[in-house]
Structure 1
Amino acid sequence: METVKIRRELLEYLLELAREFYPNEFAGFLREREGIFEEVLIAPAGHFGRNSAFFNTWMLPYDETIKGTVHSHPSPNPWPSQADLEFFSKFGGIHLIIAYPFTEESVRAYKNDGTRLRLEVVD
């Protein structure tokens, strides 16, 4: 299983965002530097609802460090939905899903085709 690396500080921030947006979903874009996810851009002009998060990727600035996405699921289901998989296939890269109860153990990483990846937290 391939591994995705994320800074502990970023993961803790993402978990906090998921808790703050609950019961709605939130979504953002992940910036990677030297093979490690280090920052998140919250989706501009997005809609964050109980069953979905919508944002227009055309609103993103050109940024070669954006290598993935993150969104929360307000249910304990960490698996990508059909809509998630459709988005993954269009955006590419790595995708994190943070499921309720928004703990480190409820975070899953996927490739754009929905294949699960191992998540490694680094300091």
Structure 2
Amino acid sequence: MRLFRSSELLGIARETLEFVLEASEETHPNEYMGFLRADDARKLGLDRSGQVITNVLVIPGTTSNPVSATVKTSMKPNDVSSVGSVHSHPNGVLRPSDADLSTFGQGKVHMIVGAPYGRDDWRAFDNQGERTTLDVVDVDLPEDQFFDFTQSDIDAELLADGRHSGVVAPEDREDDDDDRGGLFSWLR
């Protein structure tokens, strides 16, 4: 991983834009809200420095209705890959409201997606609410490996690292009702 990435935002991955449009349509008639994350362009196979929006982070506890979406900002991670926000306007208006402008302080770009959520039913804005260009880029998105594991994998890693002595392999348990070990055993 490179410590210093180019801050130039090259665009949004086509697949990510399609996800945003579909998620906004599925949330309709309520607003959709998320935070945009970017990856280094070279990691995506582009022969250019900069960043491409590849992911949308939806914060747990986000609530929405037909005229607003509210995010629990305390749940938003301090994330260096975050480059802005996206939300929908179910009424189809593709310009920021005064309330939107008050939330545009962080990030480089803020997208508004509007009904009927077709491929041209979105706009990008800068922190001041001025329309900006955001190219749609054809790249292969990196595979998200974060959830590519099982409980057995977690237990084995904990045992191998010696981080948790309470993990007991299923075959070593004295009775089936014993709930020692597992992902949440550290909560006890």
Q: TM-score, normalised by structure 1?
A: 0.92
Deviation at 1:118, TM superposition (A): 1.3
2:115 matched residue in structure 1: 100
- Larger RCO: 1 or 2 (CA < 8 Å, sep 6+): 1
Moved over 2 A (4+): none
2:30 matched residue in structure 1: 24
Equivalent residues, number: 121
Q: Structure 2: state its 5+ residue gaps.
A: 1-8, 41-50, 139-188
Deviation at 1:43, TM superposition (A): 2.3
Report the 3-state secondary structure (helix = DSSP H, G, I; strand = E; otherwise coil) of the residue aligned with 1:32: strand
Percent sequence identity is 41
Distance across 1 between alignment mates of 2:114 and 2:25: 10
Which letter does structure 2 place at the counterpart of 1:75? N
Q: Structure 1: state its 5+ residue gaps.
A: none
Superposition pairs of residues 71-86 of structure 1, within 5 angstroms = 71-86=87-102
Deviation at 1:93, TM superposition (A): 2.3
Distance across 2 between alignment mates of 1:62 and 1:81: 26
Deviation at 1:92, TM superposition (A): 3.6
Q: TM-score, normalised by structure 2?
A: 0.61
Larger Rg: 2
Deviation at 1:106, TM superposition (A): 1.1
Report the 3-state secondary structure (helix = DSSP H, G, I; strand = E; otherwise coil) of the residue aligned with 2:56: strand
What is the root-mean-square deviation in Å for CA atoms of aligned residues?
1.5
1:14 matched residue in structure 2: 20
Query: Greater strand share, 1 or 2?
Result: 1
